[in-house]
Amino acid sequence: MTLTGRNLTFADAAGTTLHETAAVARAVRTEGGDAPAGRSTGYAMAVGDTFNGTLSAGDRDWVRVELQPGSYVITLDSRGAAGVYDPYLRVMDDDGVQVAQNDDGDGLNSRLVLNVAQPGTYYLEAGSYAGLYSGAYSLNLAATGPTHHFTMAEIALQLTDGYWEATGRSRRAFDVGQGDVLNVDLSGLTQEGRQLAGMALSAWAQVTGIVFNRNPGTNATIHITFDDSDWGAWSSSMTSGDRIVSSHVNIGLDWLISYGTGYNSYSYQTYIHEIGHALGLGHAGNYNGSAVLGVNNHYLNDSWQASVMSYFDQAENVWVDASFAYIASPMTADILAIQRLYGPTAIRTGNNTYGETTNAGPSYATIAALLRNADTRDDIAFTIFDQGGVDMLDLGTDTRGQRISLVAGTSSNAYGLVGNISIMPGTLIENAQAGRGNDLVIGNWADNILRGGAGNDTLRGAAGNDTLNGQGGADRLVGGVGDDVYVTDGRDQIVEAAGQGIDTVRSTVTLQLGANLENLVLISNAAQDGGGNALANRLTGNAHANRLEGFSGNDTLLGGQGNDTLYGGNGWDVLGGGAGADLLIGGNGNDILRGWTGNDTLRGGAGNDTLNGQGGADRLEGGAGDDVYVTDGRDQIVEAAGQGIDTVRSTVTLRLGANLENLVLISNAAQDGSGNGLANRLTGNAHANRLEGFFGNDTLLGRQGNDLLFGGQGDDWLEGGAGADLLVGGQGDDTMLGGAGADHFVFQGGRDVVGDFQDDLDTLRIDDALWGGGPRSVAQVLQLAHVAGGNTVFDFGNGNVLTLNGFANIAALQDDLIIV
């Protein structure tokens, strides 16, 4: 085909010319009184009508029309023998502003094509050149051209089949696929031509997987030959059936002189176009030689934005929302079409970056170099094609406001242009870096990382677990559905709807979580504070001193390093101080407080709290409620009277302090525990323990191990558990259960009960102080026993009674009783 000028006039080797048929008028309308020259005109016409009128010198007639989106041919002709000489046609919009004009479009008559993008009211003005002439005229309005948009798939079908069929030919392609070789001969080109042709071949290789061999051997079959010996630019192919045998591409030296030799030039775009023909693609419309938008296009969105094979640039097509830019890669419809001819590819499946930095191959590297240059970045448009990995679009140095869309099949606006960067359908780009202007960045369904750069940006995450970082400026961050992460410097507006995932804010400044945000992480290199909201929040400090406050909800507060202050607030909260000397205050609710390392202060507040100092010499203040203290023995436990039934869990030997009721030994070794003046519950571990109740009605539970249990004063309950245990009830009316193992029960007075005495396994030890210390034999002691209700009862007088529940064989005790 031949390109003969900037307006993209093409002709292919076959020289086929297509013609359009004019529309037929629907009605003829005639001027009565003179039509006024303004919006007050009472005359109107419809599409397909003819309006006949008369002009006097200096006269202008306005006729109102209502137009829908589409293309219209408007003619103003001299009518009859008394027709006006040299009629002049103008078109005004609804505000009376001129939008089109023509003089001498058809001889001395006027003719123009009006392309309408939006429905509205227009005015057709009939006049004469400079208002000099009078006479009759005929004004005609006819619809022409397309009325609908093509999908990218439909445009691709036009490239592979439609164009060839319209010119009496059929689909064609080389008999190769991904990984196969086509030999090309660039020897007929200048150095500049070879560079442009080589890079254009690389661009097609990036979407086909075909290997273009630029250094074939002497006797190799040449598939595509390039030269510059003819004027203009064209491509021709020799075919056999539906197979291309060879192709010839000519782009003349005149072309390079006229349109430049840079990769941001019309010459480079021409090489991409002509190689498309050489590989089997037709034009984007059924035109050839020349084309007029609204007349020769058969769908509305025929432009470079969709296909490098189009005749119409982005700016001249009113139905395309894109700025003029030279094409630096095969575009969306081109890629769909070429892969119909040569099959799908499996290239660029790794982690790739596109835009100002790239690792995606030479043609994208060329694009990157152009985008990094302030003088060339606004010259080009391109399409990203990728098939796997975690990828990124980097437009970080642009200083103008961008609209970046990572949605496949959409276009982005960058470098002051509209619609200049497209992403192929089926291509997934996960991450984006915006520039230094006020940008809009739109994510897709994947887990996106969106960075705004400088400027006041809007970042929209859509579906997926996204990370939104406004970076500089006062940004608007909208995560959408998914577990999103927001990174903020405090100047940003974070927008999160209810029920859209568990979201995290990472802040460099003091911040309280806004609505529908769950988690906060402080990330500055200085002290800062953080607050939650009514949800169940997770607040995490940094390496410095932080104040974290959960407020309502069941929150988790983690201080990190530094001397932190943590307030749980309402709800059942979990507080972790981390390193440093921290202050943890649970507030209301049943809270869990852990100091971690450092000498911490833990205050439970209201509720049944658990306080664990962990490392350090900590101060544990439970407050009201049934609290649990976990200690390594270095801690100070502070509990006021009447503040609930509290439990100490200790890893070391420990005696309960004031106002503490229960003790549980939790180490992995033998340790001891003792009570105080309250009714204590003392629980051993899996090893040998010594438990001593002292005062109060105590419960002692030995668990596993060979334990020593001393009830002391009060009415105590002693359980040995597993192991060979020694149970001493002491004073008071005690109950003793040995559990498994050979246990010893010591009776010293009171009214005691042994609940599980086992003959020939357990031993009774009777204190001789019960009868004043004089000598008595076992037989004499057994005479003090009798059986009552299936139990053996020893009555030593003075209210001292020992009962063996469930044991009725007094004689069997002969070898189980010891007097001490």
CB count, 10 Å around CB of 671?
Answer: 20
Nearest to 691 by CA among 660, 666, 727: 727
**Region of residue 227 (left: phi > 0; alpha: psi -120 to 50; beta: else):** beta
- b (16+ CB within 10 A) / e for 597-606: bbbbbbbbbb
Closest of 710, 705, 712, 738 to residue 807, by C-alpha: 738
If you search the block for the tokens 């359908």, which residue do you land on?
Answer: 425
Q: What is the DSSP string of 509-524?
A: S-EE--TT--EEEE--
**Beta carbons within 10 angstroms of residue 415's beta carbon:** 24
CA nearest to 575, candidates 562, 560, 590, 557: 557
Contact 459, 452 (CB under 8 A): yes
User: Three-class SS of residue 726?
Assistant: strand
Q: Closest Cα partner for 246 from 217, 225, 276, 274?
A: 225
Q: Is 274 a catalytic residue?
A: yes
Give residues with Cβ within 8 angstroms of 30, minimum separation 6.
51, 52, 53
304 phi and psi angles, rounded to 5 deg: -60, -25
- Residue 507: how many CB atoms within 10 A of its CB? 24
Residue 455's identity, in one-letter code, is G
Beta bridge partners of residue 186, listed in sequence order: none
* SS3 call for 279: helix
Q: Which residues pair with 124 in a beta bridge?
A: 63, 91
d(CA 801, CA 731) in angstroms, rounded, equals: 12
Residue 303, number of CB atoms within 10 A of its CB: 26
In angstroms, the CA 621 to CA 591 distance is: 12
Rg (CA), the chain: 46
What is the three-class DSSP state of 128?
Answer: strand
- Residue of 125, 274, 496, 719 marked active site: 274
Which residue has 């939104």 as its token pair?
468
**Residue among 474, 473, 423, 418 nearest 444 (CA):** 423
Give the residue carrying structure tokens 């050489």: 278
Q: Which residues are catalytic?
A: 274
